[in-house]
Amino acid sequence: MHIGLIGGTGAGLFSPLGDSGCVVEQVQIQTAFAIDPVVITEWQAYGHRVLFIPRHGPNAQTPPHKVNYRAHIAALKQAGVEQIIALNAVGGITAAGGAPGTLTIPDQYIDYTYGREHTFYDGQQMQHCADLGLSESLQHVECNRPLDAALRSALLQAAVTAGIGVSAAGTCAVMQGPRLETAAEINKLERDGCDVVGMTLAPEAGLAAEAGLPYACIAGVVNCAAGRAPIDGEGQQQSIHEQLDEWVAACMTCLLYTSDAADEEDSGDL
C-alpha cells in the first residue's frame, strides 16, 4: 500500500530513518498547481511505501494560510498514494478533545478559513483534473463524513496498541491563523460544537475528498486552547507558547509510536 503522510508542526522531529536504517529517497513531483515541484520523501515501512510531505515546507516556514494544499494533494495523487494520514497539532477545547500530550482522531471538522485555494473544481484549471484521474466537469463532492472511518479506526487501534492516550472522535475547528485565537473565539468554537482547534485540516481534507483519497487525521493536542489552561496556585495560566515547548515533542513521539504500530499491525486497512 502507498500511504501519504502529511506532517505539520513538529514534522522536523519526524525522522523516517529512525534506527531502522531504511532507505529514504526524495522525489520531485511537478503538479499543475505550483511552479516548483513538490518534494516528497519516500521510504519503506513494514511492507508499505510511505510518501511524506512536511506541510509547512522543509524549513517549517510556510504559514497555514499560505500552504499550497492543492499541490500537496495533487502530488500525492499523482505519485499513486491510496490513502493519506495527516498529522496536525491542535489546541484542546473540551475534555472530549483531550488533554495536552494526548492524541485525538477527529471525525468531523468545521472550516472557518478564508481565501485559501480549496478546490480542484474552481472553474479555471479544471482541465488539470484529468491529470489526477478526475472528471473535468464540476463535481460537488459529498463531505458528510469527511474523515475516513476505516482509516480512523486503524489509527485508533494503533494508538491503543502503542499505549497512547487517544480520543476516538471529535470535531476540529480549522482557523485561519497564523495568530492564535482569542478566549472569546474559543468560547464560540465550543458553542459551535468544536473539541479541538487547529489551522490546517481544511482545505486539505476536502481536497483529498475531491481527489478520491481516503483521508484521516491524527491530531496531537499540544496545548489547551486560548483561555483554557488550568490556573496554578499563583493564579497564573501557562501561555500557549510555554505549553507548546512542553508538548510538541511529546506529541510527536506519540505520533511516531502510533504510526509504527499502525504499520506493524499491517491490518489490511492500512
Q: Name the site residues for ligand HPA (rule: CB under 6 A).
A: 89-91, 175, 180-181, 197-199, 222-223, 225, 240
Between 21 and 115, name the residue whose CB sits nearer to ligand HPA.
Answer: 115
Minimal distance in Å, beta carbon 89 to ligand HPA? 4
The CA distance from 48 to 164, in Å, is 23
Smallest CA-to-CA distance from 188 within 200, 177, 198, 173 is with 173
Between 159 and 225, name the residue whose CB sits nearer to ligand HPA.
Answer: 225
Between 81 and 90, name the residue whose CB sits nearer to ligand HPA.
Answer: 90
Closest CB to ligand HPA: residue number: 91
Between 16 and 100, name the residue whose CB sits nearer to ligand HPA.
Answer: 100
Minimal distance in Å, beta carbon 216 to ligand HPA? 18
Distance, C-alpha 268 to centroid of its chain: 22
The CA distance from 261 to 186, in Å, is 33
Cβ-based burial of 174 (10 A; exposed 0-12, middle 13-18, buried ≥19):
buried
Minimal distance in Å, beta carbon 193 to ligand HPA? 16
Torsion on CA atoms 12, 40, 106, 144, rounded to nearest 10: 160
Minimal distance in Å, beta carbon 239 to ligand HPA? 11
